[in-house]
Amino acid sequence: SKQIELASRPDGEPTEANFKQTVVEIPPIADGEFLVKNEWMSVDPYMRGRMKAGDSYVPAFSIDQPLEGGCIGKVVESRHTSFKEGDYVLGTLGWREYWTSTGEGVTPISSDLAPVQAYLGVLGMTGMTAWVGLNRIANLSNNSTVFVSAASGAVGSVACQIAKAKDCRVIGSAGQPSKIEWLSGKIGIDAVINYKETDDLTAALREHAPDGIDVYFDNVGGDHLEAALEVMNDFGCCVECGMISTYNATEPPAAPRNLFKVVSKRIRMQGFIVRDHMSDQEEFTREMVSLIKSDKVVWEESIVSGLENAPAAFIGLFSGDNLGKQLVRID
CA–CA dist 11, 269 (Å, integer): 30
Strands (E), 33-154: 34-42, 71-78, 88-91, 98-101, 107-109, 145-148
Question: According to the binding rule CB under 6 A, does residue 154 interact with ligand NDP?
Answer: yes
Question: According to the binding rule CB under 6 A, does residue 38 interact with ligand NDP?
Answer: no
CA–CA dist 237, 214 (Å, integer): 6
Question: According to the binding rule CB under 6 A, does residue 118 interact with ligand NDP?
Answer: no
Please give the residue whose beta carbon sits closest to ligand NDP in the complex.
153
- Please identify, using beta-carbon distances, which residue of 76 and 298 lies nearer to ligand NDP: 298
CA–CA dist 48, 247 (Å, integer): 7
- β-pairing, 88-91 vs 107-109, is antiparallel
Question: According to the binding rule CB under 6 A, does residue 244 interact with ligand NDP?
Answer: yes
Q: Which of residues 165-194 bind ligand NDP (CB under 6 A)?
A: 174-176, 179
Among 21, 46, 280, 312, binds ligand NDP (CB under 6 A): 46
Which one, of 200, 266, 247, lies nearest residue 227 by Cα? 200
Question: According to the binding rule CB under 6 A, does residue 310 interact with ligand NDP?
Answer: no
Question: According to the binding rule CB under 6 A, does residue 117 interact with ligand NDP?
Answer: no
Question: According to the binding rule CB under 6 A, does residue 144 interact with ligand NDP?
Answer: no
Among 3, 117, 126, 144, binds ligand NDP (CB under 6 A): 126
Question: According to the binding rule CB under 6 A, does residue 242 interact with ligand NDP?
Answer: yes
Question: Smallest distance, Å, CB 157 to ligand NDP?
Answer: 8
CA–CA dist 180, 167 (Å, integer): 20
Q: Are 108 and 119 in contact (CB under 8 A)?
A: no
Q: Using the rule CB under 6 A, give the single segment among 32-40, 61-69, 71-79, 314-322 that binds ligand NDP.
A: 314-322
Which one, of 232, 201, 239, lies nearest residue 217 by Cα? 239
Q: Where are the alpha helices (DSSP H) in the chain?
A: 46-50, 125-132, 154-165, 177-184, 201-208, 222-231, 261-264, 281-293, 310-316
Question: According to the binding rule CB under 6 A, does residue 51 interact with ligand NDP?
Answer: no
With residues binned 3-state (H G I as helix, E B as strand, rest as coil), the percentages for the chain, rounded to 5, are: 30, 25, 40
Among 40, 137, 322, 330, binds ligand NDP (CB under 6 A): 322
Question: Smallest distance, Å, CB 177 to ligand NDP?
Answer: 10
> By the criterion CB under 6 A, which residues form the site for ligand NDP?
44-46, 126, 129, 150, 152-156, 174-176, 179, 219-220, 241-245, 272-274, 317-318, 320, 322, 326
